[in-house]
């Protein structure tokens, strides 16, 4: 398998999932502006959407969208400890969290901050949107759990770690969410997270 990724983007969550799975894979860096891979090839030939992550399962078979990729990896090549069993409420809770992170926090929350020319006023307003989304997650953790699902670490935590990591570079203050900060610290210590971040030049 080959993961197409770009450092600092949501593809880190898939990189983490692959390391958690312990399966052999290669990783190829993508220049999202030029839509080229590290060797200069047209990335859109692998993924016509032109976005990362993309997972080439075998030649000619490519899966896109991070949430789908993470669950495929967990279910097909090694999900022990990172995804509850299919059909359980805990699995649905993980999917609930991942859909919220993907739709509400990633796209609706942080997404607009990547637009060029955003005014300071608009940026501050978007920070308020992010805070509202993070408040729901902080509330989940308020019952004493260490991760988003009561059974322990799942793919959702790696995804949250990835997306919330954008706060620092954007000037958004996470300190008002101490339970999320503590979760991030726990996730950061995981060997798979360390390995993925090192591979992407983030450590």
Shared domain for 123 and 42, answered yes or no, is no
If asked whether residues 75 and 115 sit together in one domain, one would say no
- What does the DSSP assignment read for the chain? -EEEE-TTSTHHHHHHHHHHHT---EEEEEETTTTEETTS-BGGGT-TT--S-EEEEETTEEEESHHHHHHHHIIIII-TTTSPPTTSHHHHHHHHHHHHIIIIIIIIIIGGGGSTT--HHHHHHHHHHHHHHHHHHHHHHTTS-SSSBTTB--HHHHHHHHHHTHHHHHT---TT-HHHHHHHHHHHTSHHHHHHHHHTT--
pLDDT score at 90: 96
108 and 160 fall within a common domain:
yes
Question: Would you give per-residue pLDDT tens digits along the chain (203 residues)?
Answer: 999 999 999 999 999 999 999 989 999 999 999 999 999 999 999 999 999 999 999 999 999 999 999 999 999 876 667 999 999 999 999 999 999 999 999 999 999 999 999 999 999 999 999 999 999 999 999 999 999 999 999 999 999 999 999 999 999 999 999 999 999 999 999 999 999 999 999 98
On whether both 137 and 158 belong to a single domain, the answer is yes
Q: What pTM was computed for the model? A: 0.96
Same domain membership, residue 95 and residue 43: no
Same domain, 9 and 66: yes
Q: How many domains does the chain have?
A: 2
Q: Please report the pLDDT score of residue 79 as a whole number.
A: 61
Task: Name the residue range of residue 37's domain.
Answer: 2-80+192-199
């Amino acid at each position: 398998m080959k993961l197409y990724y770009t450092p600092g983007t949501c593809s880190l969550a898939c990189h983490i999932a692959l390391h958690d799975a312990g399966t052999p894979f290669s990783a190829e860096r993508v220049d999202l502006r030029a839509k080229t891979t590290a060797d200069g090839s047209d990335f859109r030939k692998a993924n016509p959407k032109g976005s990362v992550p993309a997972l080439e399962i075998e030649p000619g078979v490519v899966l896109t969208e991070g949430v789908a990729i993470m669950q495929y990896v967990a279910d097909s090549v090694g999900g022990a400890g990172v995804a509850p069993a299919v059909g359980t409420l805990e699995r649905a809770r993980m999917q609930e969290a991942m859909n919220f992170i993907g739709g509400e926090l990633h796209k609706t929350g942080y997404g607009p901050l990547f637009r060029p020319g955003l005014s300071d006023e608009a940026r501050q307003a978007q920070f308020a949107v992010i805070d509202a989304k993070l408040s729901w997650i902080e509330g989940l953790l308020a019952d004493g759990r260490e991760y988003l699902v009561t059974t322990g670490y799942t793919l959702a935590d790696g995804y949250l770690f990835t997306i919330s990591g954008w706060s620092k570079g954007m000037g958004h203050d996470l300190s008002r969410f101490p339970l999320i900060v503590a979760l991030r610290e726990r996730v950061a210590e995981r060997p798979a997270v360390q390995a993925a971040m090192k591979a992407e030049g983030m450590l």
